Amino acid sequence: MILGTAAVSVHAADLRIGIVGLDTSHVIAFTKILNDPAAPNHVPGGKVVAAFKSSSADIPASASRVEGYSAQIVKDFGVKLVGSIEELCGEVDCVMIESIDGRPHLAQARPVIAAKKRLFIDKPIAGSLRDAVEIFRLAKEAGVPVFTSSAYRYYDSMIELKKAAIGEVRSAISYGPAHTEPHHPDLFWYGVHPSEALFTVMGRGCETVMRASSPETDVITGTWSSGRIGVLHAIRTKPLPHKVTVFGTNGFAEQKPGGEDYAPLVREVIRFFETGNPPVTPEETLELFAFMEAADESKRRGGALVKLSEMFEQAKR
């Protein structure tokens, strides 16, 4: 059964999933979770049945891995390789864009949205805030649900942290790996993970950003509405731990180690494909990416305060 645009539930077993981009380990990890009932973290609800191979010649991590992952997904899981995204959309109910490079995501999303397929886009949703805004604009115009998220948001340890009885959240600190890639804003490449973790506990309402930067570490301070403060420590040297500490009106809580698994994210993706209801709103996603792009602008300005509203204005030009 091919899904339309209406947000109605369907039987999970009906879902046929297509993948765009075969240049990241997520392709194999997600497909195993979905397609292998014997996997310890198996998520029922659909199978990857077709994929379109793509990669970026100017990113070694993409170009060097695409052929191996393409061969593996066919050999290990029987996934069919197709010649175009349009052909892929004709054979599946829903699509996951997995290209490791965020720059082609807008172009890859266009035919999926035109085909009215519910769409999950792996991190980063795009290579710029402007492209992210355009993806959601096109999706809204076409009535096509789109969802994106880092796996960090759904780690068991993060879910438990959010349950902590600390009252109203007033501030938080998130730290984690933030390796950069020269074709993307600094935090888009890997810093998106601890950035999304920060937004997971702080929610929407970030208004301004300031960044202190060194070759090894960045400290990005965001000021939220009502005077709330969120701080990101972006680390580029070993060791590379990640953790969130949140402070509330009645106490504080720290994220516990462990529970790092892709399965909770994949489970959310399946639920989204079934219902058409994204668990993270476009508005929160766009604010997260405006936060990260504002951090780059603050660095260019020598650590000056940058308003997120300015980033959104630039993205509209």
Q: How far is CA 121 from CA 41, 76, 97, 297, in A?
A: 21, 23, 5, 25
Mean pLDDT in residue range 52-66: 96
Mean pLDDT, the chain, as a whole number?
94
pTM: 0.93
The predicted pLDDT at position 13 comes to 60
Residue 200 phi/psi, 5-degree rounding, is: -60, -35
Is the separation of the CB atoms in 204 and 212 below 8 Å? no
The predicted pLDDT at position 259 comes to 73
Domains parsed from the chain with CATH numbers: 12-122 (3.40.50.720), 152-262+289-316 (3.30.360.10)
The predicted pLDDT at position 5 comes to 37
pLDDT tens digits along 160-173 = 999 999 999 999 99
Is the separation of the CB atoms in 295 and 186 below 8 Å? yes
Structure tokens belonging to residue 182: 């020269």
Structure tokens belonging to residue 194: 């601890």
Extended strands (E) in the chain: 16-20, 47-52, 80-82, 94-97, 118-121, 146-147, 169-177, 206-213, 217-224, 229-235, 243-248, 251-254, 306-307
pLDDT higher than threshold 90 for residue 256: yes
